[in-house]
Amino acid sequence: MPFYQYFNGDIIDIDSPVFKTNDLGLLRGFGLFDYFRTYNGIPFRWDDYWQRFENSARLLKLPLPVSQSEIEKVLADLHSMSGEKEVAFRFVLTGGYAPDSVHVVQPNLLIRTESLPQDNPAGRLKGIKVLPYEYVRDLPEVKTTNYVHMVLMADELKRQQAADLLFHKDGEVSELTRSNIFIFTGDKLITSDRNILNGITRRVVIDLAKAHFDVEIRAVSYKEVITADEVFTTSTTKWVMPVVQIGEHPVGSGKAGKRTLFLQELFENVVNNWGK
Amino acid sequence: MPFYQYFNGDIIDIDSPVFKTNDLGLLRGFGLFDYFRTYNGIPFRWDDYWQRFENSARLLKLPLPVSQSEIEKVLADLHSMSGEKEVAFRFVLTGGYAPDSVHVVQPNLLIRTESLPQDNPAGRLKGIKVLPYEYVRDLPEVKTTNYVHMVLMADELKRQQAADLLFHKDGEVSELTRSNIFIFTGDKLITSDRNILNGITRRVVIDLAKAHFDVEIRAVSYKEVITADEVFTTSTTKWVMPVVQIGEHPVGSGKAGKRTLFLQELFENVVNNWGK
């Protein structure tokens, strides 16, 4: 499984030292990324992920050094060299090397080929526990590399047998560390539209849900989440993941909800048939 | 001027690619740093800077792989190899290489030798303009690598002929992007103690000022700053730098204040005589 990576035009071994030490991503946290995977060997919703990556770059005022079609060829090469049927790709764009450690001169573009993450099939059926955490992401519309609180809390999550943090501030929830949040109140499906990253999985799930439920896209209060009948979270790696406990509060019955599992099935159909 | 850097026990050329691409500093912004310089060839307040670096590491739960005395020898080597009389050192500690891109396994420690920054002697005499900016640093006591807003606003600062941003939120000021803030109201010197990085220059200036002025260390409102007689900012590279304009508001007379210039002189005496 010899994975490779792309860096500013070159394809090199995934374990090579690559970054010089005056990169603004490293010194100033000035970087953004995106992450997606293949199904049936085909990158899932590639246009959407590329557009989001472009949007993040635009908001951080970083010019993209390559076009979508050039990168498509790179992805095909990286995929083929991996020898794997399915892979994940991590795009990272940083402010590049800065002689004065402040001003952007030329961004650095990295694309890592990665193996698929553990899928947590148990969590998908039984649901996960999350911890409420008072925080709102800075520049939430940009997929910046700033995940300090997630890394900082990783051990505490493990200790409390929780899978993630639920960000809330001033009585309003926004998202989990790397995924969006949805709640069911009866047959009404509600998801936040403020202070969030616009998830691709979120968008797919909203489209799938519209045929079956009332969908409300608006600010969601912490109280609504705590008192909801069902709660779930969506992401590239989590798909539709039931949330069954928030801190010490069980959600609804404390078990994965039937509407959530129904949407999960719809989503699984989409990815299982992707490219077919 | 062949500068070198230290990385996890090795001393290597400053331009070498060093970091593998699964470093948590790069992928997750999980890193901290510190920065100081020599005067008369001797690192200034080295114990204070080391303690602050240790404190940042402790707050991000990163174990330091080396002791202060081991690092002292490294600094002496890096300094001597540079061939320069005066140098600056940048310490960077990241979460290290993470197979799962979330959990810390072993931090990476980098020490860069850098040439002294431009001193801006004109600014030190005439004062600088700053732009008010609604923001408060996350984990302000930790010198994390997160300077996204500073880099993002660098061009706008240039366009408005301003030297820095003044962070304020909910009517309260905290600090500039990389320096602390002080105001004079008559002979009373006031500096913020909330949501700030504990500056070493700040501490020296407070000690120097106590013999000459009433010093109040407490929350400072934005209104107090705007209506102050004198405003200045302190940092390793700025020393005691008068702030003469905040957005469109001139500070006091619009010129560097006499008390500020007096403290600047006291501080310059300290660094000019450092190690003598």
The pLDDT value given to residue A122: 84
Residue B249's φ and ψ, nearest 5 degrees, are -90, 120
Confidence at residue B61, expressed as pLDDT on a 0 to 100 scale: 97
What tokens does A232 get?
């779930």
Q: Does B108 lie in the same domain as B206?
A: no
Cα distance between residue B208 and residue B2, in whole Å: 37
pLDDT tens across B23-33, in order? Answer: 999 999 999 99
Nearest residue to B179 (alpha-carbon basis) of B161, B160, B201, B158: B201
DSSP string of A3-19? -EEEETTEEEETTS--B
User: Within 10 A of B52 (CB to CB), how many other CB atoms are there?
Assistant: 23
pLDDT score at B2? 78
Is 80 exceeded by the pLDDT of residue A118? Answer: no
Residues B197 and B128 in one domain: yes
Give the pLDDT of residue B1.
Answer: 57
Mean pLDDT of B121-133: 93
| Helical segments of A138-273, H only | 148-152, 154-159, 200-209, 222-226, 258-272
Write the DSSP string, B89-111.
EEEEEE--B-TTSSS-SS-EEEE
**Cross-chain residue pair B28–A144, CB shorter than 8 Å:** no
Query: For a pLDDT cut of 70, what percent of chain B falls above it?
Result: 99
Of the three residues B95, B114, B133, the one that is the final residue of a domain is B114
Give me the amino acid identity at B123.
G
Helices (H), A127-257: 148-152, 154-159, 200-209, 222-226
- pLDDT higher than 80, residue B118: no
Residues of chain A positioned with their CB less than 8 A from the CB of B94: 26
What is the sign of the dihedral through the CA atoms of B209, B213, B219 and B223? negative
Q: What percentage of chain A reaches a pLDDT higher than 70? A: 99
CATH code at position B237: 3.20.10.10
Distance CA B100, CA B104 (A): 9
A7 conformational bin, left if phi > 0, alpha if psi -120 to 50, beta if neither: beta
Predicted local confidence at residue A220, as pLDDT = 98
Tally of domains within chain A? 2
Residue B175: partners with Cβ closer than 8 Å, 6 or more residues away: B137, B140, B167, B181, B192, B195, B196, B197
Instruction: Measure CB to CB from residue A60 to each of B90, B144, B152 and give the nearest one.
Output: B152
- How wide is the angle at C-alpha B114 spanned by C-alphas B113 and B120, nearest 5°? 155
Domain boundary among A90, A114, A138: A114
Give start and end residues of each alpha helix (H) in chain B. 24-28, 46-59, 68-82, 121-126, 148-152, 154-159, 200-209, 222-226, 258-272
Looking at the fold, whether A61 and A162 belong to one and the same domain comes out as: no
Find residue A114's DSSP bridge partners: A88
**C-alpha to C-alpha distance for B254 and B232, rounded to whole angstroms:** 12
pLDDT at residue A62 is higher than 60: yes
Residues B153 and B110 in one domain: no
Domain end position, chosen among A81, A114, A147: A114
pLDDT at A56: 98
Q: How far apart are CA A98 and CA A177, in angstroms?
A: 29
**What does the pLDDT look like over B81-114, one tens digit per residue?**
999 999 999 999 999 999 999 999 999 999 999 9
Nearest to B28 among A17, A95, A151 (CB): A151
List the single residue in B21, B61, B150 with the smallest CB-CB distance to A5: B21
> How far is residue B89 CA from its own chain's centroid?
12
Whether residues B249 and B159 fall in one domain? yes
Tens digits of residue pLDDT in A223-236: 999 999 999 999 99
Query: Is the CB of residue B31 less than 8 Å away from at least one CB of chain A?
Result: yes
Structure tokens belonging to residue A45: 């919703």
Same domain (yes/no): B158, B228: yes
- ipTM of the complex as predicted: 0.96
Question: Same domain, yes or no, for B261 and B131?
Answer: yes
CATH code for the domain in which residue A84 is found:
3.30.470.10
Residue B119: its pLDDT value, please?
65
Q: Phi then psi for A78, rounded to 5 degrees?
A: -60, -40
Structure tokens at A3: 């994975």
A119: confidence class by pLDDT, cuts 50, 70, 90: low
- Stretch B178-191: mean pLDDT, rounded? 98
Structural domain for A71, as ranges: 4-114
Q: Is A92 on the interface with B (CB under 8 A)?
A: yes
